[in-house]
Each structure stands twice: as structure tokens, then as C-alpha cells.
Amino acid sequence: MRIDEKLAFPSVGTDPQSVRQRVEAMEKVLERLFVIPGTRQQVGLDVILDLVPVVGDIAAAALGAYIVWEARNVGMSKWQVSRMAGNVGFDWLLGLIPWVGAIPDFFFRSNTRNLRMIKRHLDKHHPGTRTIETEAKRL
């Protein structure tokens, strides 16, 4: 993969590679948008939205549901899609606790869990979409 491909906006195609790019981009925005200065803790839009009572939680759940929708469209089993929806639902319930609900979101990252499930599925059923992750990227 060329560097300019990594910086490009994910394509809108329905092929597995395009789906992988869109889901990875959405997960990054929701869970790893920036690093808290002085720490290695990554924060995304999901935690920020949790600070807005009820409306923020609904918005974060809707964005997380998009990842589940993409998983369904890529052909994941109903069981896997149900588990992913359960992850988003659990994250939503945790976030409903005003102000305090953002704290568990640092530890239970439903979108990252769902991304891992999608990657495993794509690696198994569409090996051509597999990407090589560097050690620095995983940290």
C-alpha cells in the first residue's frame, strides 16, 4: 500500500477492501482520534459524545451501529452481527450514566472490538484485503 493511499478518503465501493477501509476509518474517529497529552491514552469521538447526556450517547451508538451495518453487508453471520450489536448496546447503556459514563468507555471500546471481529472475518473470507500492521501502528 502506498502512503498516498493511506491518506486518501476511503472509497464508497461495496468490495471488501473498501468496507475494511471505511470501518477502520470510523473506528479511528470513534476510539483513537487523539492522545491525551502526557499519557498514551487515546480518545475518540465516542468518549467526547458521552459527555453530552443522552443525545451524545445516542449519536455515538448510531455511529457504532454503522460499523455493525457494514459487517452485515459484508456477509458476517447473524451471530457475529448480534454480538457486535450487543457491544454497541452495552457501550450505550454505560454511557447513559451522566458524566460518569465516559469513564468506562476508556476501558470498554465497543468499536475497537467490532473492528477486530470484522478484520477476522475479512482475513478469513477475503484474504486479499489483509493489511500488514506495523508495531508502531498497533501501539
pLDDT more than 70, % of the chain: 86
Average pLDDT, the chain: 85
The model's pTM: 0.82
Per-residue model confidence (pLDDT) at position 11: 66
Mean pLDDT throughout 22-46?
93
Burial of 6 (0-12, 13-18, 19+ CB in 10 A): exposed
Give the cell for residue 133: 500492521
Query: Where exactly are the structural domains of the chain?
Result: 14-138
User: What is the C-alpha separation between 13 and 30, in angstroms, rounded?
Assistant: 22
Of 8 and 94, more confident: 94
